[in-house]
Amino acid sequence: MIFIAVSAQAQIDTTLLRRTPADTSKRKMNMDAIYSRPTLQAGKFPVSLGGYVEANYQHLGTDGISEGHQFQFRRLTLFVSSTISSRIKFLSEIEFEPADKEISIEFAAVDVEFHPLFNLRGGMIVNPIGAFNQNHDGPKWEFTDRPISTEKMLPATWSNAGFGVYGKYYQNKWLFGYELYLTSGFDNTIIENEFNRTYLPAAKANTERFEESNNGEPLITGKVAVKNTGIGELGLSYMGGIYNKYQDDGLRLDDKRRVDVFAVDMNTSIKRTGTTFIGEYAWIFVNVPQTYSQQFGNKQHGGFLDIVQPILKNNLLGWRNAVLNLACRLEYVDYNVGRFKETGGNIGDEIWSVMPAVSFRPNPQTVFRLNYRIQKQRDIFANPAINTAGFSFGISTYF
C-alpha cells in the first residue's frame, strides 16, 4: 500500500533521489515490518532501494576470561522493492554477514493484492513466528544483540521457500491481521547437532531447503494479531510440521516426528511517560525419540521483554528531534524443560540475561547504543552458573 502511495508521489517529485521515510502510520502492524522501511527512490524509477548496517564494539568476559576488545561488523542488509504493476509488488532483502562469509536472501517475495483482507504472497518468505523474526532490523532495537530466545532458541532470521495468504482488517482504532503460509521446513539437525541440545537454528545451515524439502512435508506457519492504536499490539503465532526425514526412496527410516512452536508477542506503550514495552515468549515442542538422549530436550521455552524509556527528546548535539533512551532487556530461555529419567531431578540448560542500555537516536533511522550485559547460564545438570558480563557499543542505521 505504501508503495503505491510512494510511486504516486514520485510523479510530482522533481529531485532525483528522494527519501521515503519509514512509514510510521498507526495502521502498521508487526506483519508490515518488512514493507515499512525507509527507502530511497530515483525519480520515476519504479524501484526503491534501502538497507541497514550494524557494527559493534564488544568487550565481554566469562568467569574471569575476557574476550578482550572485539570489533564486529555484524551485517549489511539491502532491500530492493518495486511495484511491478498495480497490486503486484516485489520486495527482497539480501543480507551480507561477513563473519559467516554469507550472502543470503532473507526475503524475496511477490505479493498480489486482491483485497486488504486477502493477499497472496509467494517466494522466499520470513515465517511469522513471534514478532522478532519478521521485525528484526537492527536500527529498530536499542540493543546490539538479537534476543537470545529469538536467535538461539527460535531460528531468527528464519526464512523458507513457500507461499501463503495474509490480510488485514481495520475499524476505528482496531486492526486485525492474519498470515498463513506453507513453506519448507526443519530437518533432523534440530536434534542432531553440535550444540548438544535441541536447537532449531541448526536447520538454518541447510540451504537445500530452498530447493528441496528434506521430507516433502510442509511447515505451516500462522499468525493472528490485533492492535489497538491507543494500546498496542498482541500477536499469537504457530509454526509446526514434521521435521525428520522419515523415508527415503520410498523406504521407511523412522517414525514421523513433529516440531510445534507457539509464540505470543506484544508491544505497548504508556502514553503519559512514553515508556515502551516489547516482548515475546515462545514454547517449542519436539518429538524426540524416546531411545535418543535427554541431552536433546523435547520442550523449550523462552522470551524477552524490552523496556524503553525516552529521557530526552530535543535538539541534541545539533540533531533536531534527537532522542536519548534508557532501556533494559530481560531474557530467559530454558533449552531443556523436563526431568531426568534417572533421578526425576530438574534438567537445567537455562540462560538468564539482564541488559541495561542507553541509546541515542539522532533520528528515527539511526541508533547508537551502549549495553551492559549480565548473563548467567547453567548446564544440563544445573551446576553453578557460568557468569558472563560486559559492555557492547554499536551503531545501526538504515540508509
DSSP state of 199: -
Closer residue to another protein, CB minimum distance, 102 or 248: 248
- CA separation (Å) from 339 to 71, 285, 293? 40, 15, 12
Q: List contacts with another protein (CB under 8 A).
A: 57, 59-66, 69, 188-189, 191-196, 244, 253-254, 257, 289, 291-295, 316-318, 340-343, 345, 348, 370, 372, 379-384, 387-391, 393
Min dist CB 242 to another protein, Å, is: 13
3-state secondary structure of 250: coil
Closer residue to another protein, CB minimum distance, 114 or 292: 292
Closer residue to another protein, CB minimum distance, 152 or 257: 257
Closer residue to another protein, CB minimum distance, 63 or 212: 63
| CA distance linking residue 369 with residue 329, whole number of Å | 13
Cβ distance 339 to 310 under 8 Å? no
Min dist CB 335 to another protein, Å, is: 14
Min dist CB 183 to another protein, Å, is: 23
Cβ distance 92 to 111 under 8 Å? no
- Prior bond of 157 cis (ω within 30°): yes
Min dist CB 7 to another protein, Å, is: 39
Q: Where are the beta strands (DSSP E) in 271-335?
A: 275-286, 299-316, 319-334
Locus of grid cell 541515542: 360
Min dist CB 206 to another protein, Å, is: 11
Min dist CB 379 to another protein, Å, is: 6
Closer residue to another protein, CB minimum distance, 61 or 216: 61
Helix, strand, coil fractions of the chain, as percent rounded to 5: 10, 55, 35
Closer residue to another protein, CB minimum distance, 241 or 303: 241
Closer residue to another protein, CB minimum distance, 271 or 320: 320
The residues, any chain, with a CB within 8 Å of residue 184's CB and separated by 6 or more, are 160, 161, 162, 209, 210, 212, 213, 214, 218, 219
Question: How buried is 182 (Cβ within 10 angstroms: 0-12 exposed, 13-18 middle, 19+ buried)?
Answer: middle
Min dist CB 36 to another protein, Å, is: 31
Closer residue to another protein, CB minimum distance, 12 or 65: 65
Give me 300's grid cell.
523449550
Min dist CB 387 to another protein, Å, is: 4
- CA separation (Å) from 385 to 5, 352, 381, 382? 53, 10, 10, 8
